[in-house]
Chain A
Amino acid sequence: MKPENAIEVHNITKKFKVYLDKGHTLKERTLFSKRRKFENREVLKGISFEVKKGEAIGLIGHNGCGKSTTLKMLTKIMYPDSGTIEMNGRVSSLIELGAGFHPDMSGRENIYINASIFGLTKKEIEERIDSIIEFSELEDFIDNPVRTYSSGMYMRLAFAVAINVDADILLIDEILAVGDVAFQAKCFNRLRQIKSEGTTIVIVSHSLSQLELICDRSIWIHEGVIKEEGAPFDVHPKYMSFMANNTLSKAKDKQDKKKEESKKEEKKAVEEKPEEAKTEEAAENTEETKKPEDSNRWGSNEIVMNSVTVTDEKGVERDTFLNTEPIYINIGYDNPGKIDNSVVGVAIYRDDKVHIYGTNTLIDMSKTLPLKDKGTITLILDRIPVNAGNYIFDLAFHKPDGFNYDFWRDVFRLRINNVKGEAGAISIEHSWKSE
């Protein structure tokens, strides 16, 4: 194992027996042994990666692609059929929250139980208990039985324990959606702090935006192999456009299948159910051959951006601005799907992929914009208070729940220049005073 690495995974594979009808009892096992058919499903077909100490990586992929299985093997809940996993340091996993909680016991007692399950000794728990209680914000209720807690309080306590288990390697599975928005932000900040202290982090999540905020690298697992690996900023658009195409072609295949079926039914009145597995396989094959047209752009195309121009207040198109000047972004759109509930959003990145700013119409006005069949939306930025650099703009039309009509990454880039020679990432309004 290389000294700079915290995790090394070498070519691991895993097969599951998927029982079509699993018999657990004696009768089922002996009498119907022939009925107990199972197929071996290869979930992981040889995955290798390394994680450096202090690095945060995200595992992404659609449901059943093997990302959670990979995480379970890192946790040592499961073991690979072949290949090796080497880890260097104390491992802690935030996969299950509130394990071992007893409803009749007090919050304080449950902290002891729960933390001990994470492998902490009594002494270690006593060292942490104050910061756990403080983090959970449950000081006034900590000696009440947990059954009197609201579900939000319960999760807060559980998360407070989990996040305070110091580890060299932290494994997280889709649990950042805890509590209210303020508590979520707190958890996230704590996670960042943990990262900055040098902890290695592996996260499985469907929330790409969360991953972008914390991960240095994303690993995209598709059907048991690594399909793409790199900076989240580069990998996620490819993943998103792949997924968008996938859903579209699946929907199309379903329609085709229905047509075929109805034809078949016309021909033969009596026929068994078609072998779904086979048709699905065929569907997947067609998906593989289809190449995404533009890996920077994805969505259902029910709304399409057809022209984007950037101008100053006089209407002159420009690509360089001072950081004191207003910027007008004019987005021309077609609305063939006659959608009237679209959110319009913008995200700004510096060209080293640091996320500078993001907002949308829902955040700003807590409603969606009325749209016509065809029209132009103008976003006016009074000024961009950043220091000199190149900035990348993303634009999107999407549903309030995140479903994309048209998401366009890297629509245009602007050069922003300083008026003065200030230093740092942003430009702060300020004045001096001397007495």
Chain B
Amino acid sequence: MIKRIKEIYAYRTMIYSLVKRDLKGRYKGSVLGFLWTFINPLFQLLIYTFVFSIVLHSDVKDYYMFLFVALIPWIFFSTSLAGGSTCITSQKNMVQKIYFPREVLPISFVTSQFVNMLLSFIVIFAVMLIARYTFNPLALLCLIPVMLTEYILALGFTFILSAVTVYFQDMQFIMGILTMAWQFLSPIMYSQERVPVEFRAIYMYVNPMAPIIIAYRDILYYGRVPELATLLSALLMGILLFVIGWITFDKMQKHFVEEM
């Protein structure tokens, strides 16, 4: 395993250039170019504000912000899963012909989604500043471990899904449906307090995304340090899935080329 990590480290330039290619290449040729990275979340935010503040009145104060701070991390997670499941099969040519540690592909895909999320956070911070939200420095510091936890979790899932998709192409479509259901089963559009008490334990500890979303909202919307229990359970689940994901991936990758 140590040897494997060393090898992936040796291919760090490949990860870097694939991420760069993805980010730079995505909007190449369009007039606004890289600005689209900011325009997308900004318009999303405007639409939510219109719908939830003017059309559908919600009891929650600043519901658009309540939703937005959870939605941006969720979009990172769900695109990592839905799009990441094809990150091996879509690079068929490369995988069949060139040797490189296969982990590079899921890692660069998730990393490029992650960078995208970080850029969207600029929009969040800008809106927070304009709407005169209080910035709690200690809480903001907690954002780093929360983001890293989500990154590890997303990577773990993408490892499994991308490997399974090679053997079983339906996985990518199944994931499209599954992430939609998952979104409604996570405290994104509503607060976890709305979940009946008898289900809350299952709700919180079966879904690894629940504590992560709650932590984001605590930090950004409420401006408070998340509970340690929330952080720890998120971290544990993240590490667990990452390890399982990597081991699964490593087992399956030996026969990628034959199965494609």
Q: How far is the CA of A93 from the CA of B98 in the complex (A)?
A: 7
Is chain A's interface secondary structure helix, strand, loop, or mixed overall? loop
Q: How far is the CA of A112 from the CA of B25 in the complex (A)?
A: 14
Give the contacting residue for A96; candidates B14, B16, B94; CB below 8 A. B94
Within 8 A of A (CB), among B137-170: 168-170
Residue of A91, A105, A117 with highest tally of chain B CB at under 10 A: A117
Beyond A100-B18, A105-B25, A112-B17, whether A121 also contacts B10 by CB under 8 A is: yes
Q: Is B100 an interface residue (CB 8 A)?
A: yes
Q: Is A141 an interface residue (CB 8 A)?
A: no
Give the contacting residue for A93; candidates B21, B99, B170; CB below 8 A. B99
Number of A residues near B (Cβ < 8 Å) is 31
Q: Is B96 an interface residue (CB 8 A)?
A: yes
Are A24 and B10 neighbours in the complex by a CB distance under 8 Å?
A: no
Are B17 and A113 neighbours in the complex by a CB distance under 8 Å?
A: yes
Q: How far is the CA of A100 from the CA of B29 in the complex (A)?
A: 18
Q: How far is the CA of A35 from the CA of B240 in the complex (A)?
A: 39
Chain A hits for B254, CB < 8 A: 79
Are A105 and B24 neighbours in the complex by a CB distance under 8 Å?
A: yes
Within 8 A of B (CB), among A99-151: 99-100, 102, 104-105, 112-113, 116-122, 125
Q: How far is the CA of A79 from the CA of B170 in the complex (A)?
A: 26
Q: How far is the CA of A116 from the CA of B14 in the complex (A)?
A: 4
Beyond A25-B169, A105-B25, A113-B17, whether A77 also contacts B94 by CB under 8 A is: no
Q: Is A26 an interface residue (CB 8 A)?
A: yes
Chain A hits for B14, CB < 8 A: 116-117, 119
Are B98 and A95 neighbours in the complex by a CB distance under 8 Å?
A: yes
Give the contacting residue for B100; candidates A72, A112, A117; CB below 8 A. A117
Q: Is B258 an interface residue (CB 8 A)?
A: yes
Are A117 and B97 neighbours in the complex by a CB distance under 8 Å?
A: no
Are B21 and A72 neighbours in the complex by a CB distance under 8 Å?
A: no
> Which residue on A lies nearest to B254, using beta carbons?
A79
Give the contacting residue for B21; candidates A17, A95, A105, A119; CB below 8 A. A105
Beyond A24-B168, A77-B257, whether A99 also contacts B97 by CB under 8 A is: yes
Are B12 and A121 neighbours in the complex by a CB distance under 8 Å?
A: yes
In the assembled complex, the CB of A122 is this many whole angstroms from the nearest CB of chain B, namely 5
Q: How far is the CA of A119 from the CA of B9 in the complex (A)?
A: 10
In the assembled complex, the CB of B245 is this many whole angstroms from the nearest CB of chain A, namely 21
Give the contacting residue for B13; candidates A77, A93, A104, A125; CB below 8 A. A125
Within 8 A of A (CB), among B1-48: 10-14, 16-18, 20-21, 24-25, 28-29
Q: Is B93 an interface residue (CB 8 A)?
A: yes
Are A75 and B21 neighbours in the complex by a CB distance under 8 Å?
A: no
Chain A hits for B98, CB < 8 A: 75, 77, 93, 95-96, 99, 117-118
Chain B hits for A25, CB < 8 A: 169-170
Within 8 A of B (CB), among A12-27: 16-17, 24-26
Chain A hits for B168, CB < 8 A: 24, 26, 29
Chain A hits for B13, CB < 8 A: 112, 116, 120-122, 125
Q: How far is the CA of A118 from the CA of B101 in the complex (A)?
A: 11
Chain A hits for B24, CB < 8 A: 105
Are B93 and A96 neighbours in the complex by a CB distance under 8 Å?
A: yes
In the assembled complex, the CB of A325 is this many whole angstroms from the nearest CB of chain B, namely 53
Q: What size tier do the contact residues of chain B reach?
A: 20 to 34
Are B10 and A26 neighbours in the complex by a CB distance under 8 Å?
A: no
Chain B hits for A75, CB < 8 A: 98-99
Is chain B's interface secondary structure helix, strand, loop, or mixed overall? helix
Chain A hits for B100, CB < 8 A: 117, 119
Are B10 and A119 neighbours in the complex by a CB distance under 8 Å?
A: yes
Chain B hits for A252, CB < 8 A: none
Beyond A78-B257, A120-B13, whether A102 also contacts B25 by CB under 8 A is: yes
In the assembled complex, the CB of A95 is this many whole angstroms from the nearest CB of chain B, namely 5
Are A100 and B94 neighbours in the complex by a CB distance under 8 Å?
A: yes
Chain B hits for A78, CB < 8 A: 257-258
Chain B hits for A102, CB < 8 A: 21, 25, 28
Are A117 and B94 neighbours in the complex by a CB distance under 8 Å?
A: yes
Q: How far is the CA of A121 from the CA of B9 in the complex (A)?
A: 10
Q: How far is the CA of A72 from the CA of B257 in the complex (A)?
A: 10
Give the contacting residue for B16; candidates A100, A105, A118, A122; CB below 8 A. A122
Give the contacting residue for A116; candidates B16, B95, B170; CB below 8 A. B16
Chain A positions 367 through 400: 1 when the CB is less than 8 Å from some CB of chain B, otherwise 0: 0000000000000000000000000000000000
In the assembled complex, the CB of B227 is this many whole angstroms from the nearest CB of chain A, namely 41
Q: How far is the CA of A100 from the CA of B97 in the complex (A)?
A: 12
In the assembled complex, the CB of A210 is this many whole angstroms from the nearest CB of chain B, namely 20
Q: Is A37 an interface residue (CB 8 A)?
A: no
Chain B hits for A77, CB < 8 A: 95-99, 257
Within 8 A of A (CB), among B84-105: 93-100
Are B29 and A119 neighbours in the complex by a CB distance under 8 Å?
A: no
Within 8 A of B (CB), among A59-104: 72, 75-79, 91, 93, 95-96, 99-100, 102, 104
Q: How far is the CA of A125 from the CA of B16 in the complex (A)?
A: 13
> Which residue on B lies nearest to A112, using beta carbons?
B17
6 contacts between A and B (CB under 8 A): A24-B170, A25-B170, A77-B95, A77-B97, A79-B254, A117-B100
Known: A77-B95, A96-B97, A99-B93. 19 other contacts (CB 8 A): A25-B169, A77-B97, A77-B99, A79-B255, A93-B98, A93-B99, A95-B97, A96-B93, A96-B96, A102-B25, A102-B28, A105-B25, A113-B17, A116-B17, A117-B98, A118-B98, A121-B12, A121-B13, A125-B13
